[in-house]
Structure 1
Amino acid sequence: MEEIKIKLDEIIKSRKLTSKELAKRINITEANLSILKTGKAKGIRFSTLLNICRELNCQPGDILKYIRRRDDEP
């Protein structure tokens, strides 16, 4: 099974920000930010990703992690 793990919440906390503050800075709703943080989003606009990276001073790879598991792996 493959998946993309979202590490946004960890980075927000490490920057000592609240989700509410980040949502305001990048001009999206707290509800939409929550959907991104929980990995329930079907996609993300590059403009949103750019704004997140700018505000958190990070790279997309700091936020998104690709995980590949084979059927025979635990």
Structure 2
Amino acid sequence: MPIRIHLDRKLEERGLTLTELSERLGMTLANLSILKTGKARAVRFSTLEALCRELDCQPGDLISFSQEGE
């Protein structure tokens, strides 16, 4: 899939675990794990907004696009 999620990078930069982030956001660990591993097929804007607010970043810091084969 050419859309990449960089949640793991942001968590590492902030010194947070996925469990801590799920507690702060009030989201399930399972849903965040699906997003982190790139298995999510969709992301709600409200979820993206909450992630950006909590991680103090922009959407482009969490999501990127790359051509197939790159």
Q: What is the TM-score normalised by the length of structure 1?
A: 0.88
Higher strand share: 1
Point out 4+ residue stretches in structure 1 off by more than 4 angstroms.
none
Following superposition, the deviation at residue 28 of structure 1 comes to 0.8
> What letter is aligned with 2:43?
I
Q: In 1, Cα distance between the equivalents of 2:37 and 2:16?
A: 17
Q: Percent identity?
A: 51
> What letter is aligned with 2:16?
L
Q: Over aligned residues, Cα RMSD in angstroms? A: 1.4
Higher gyration radius (CA): 1
Could you list the runs of 5+ residues in structure 2 that have no partner in the other structure? none
Q: In 1, Cα distance between the equivalents of 2:25 and 2:41?
A: 19
> What letter is aligned with 1:66?
F
Q: What is the TM-score normalised by the length of structure 2?
A: 0.92
> What letter is aligned with 1:41?
A
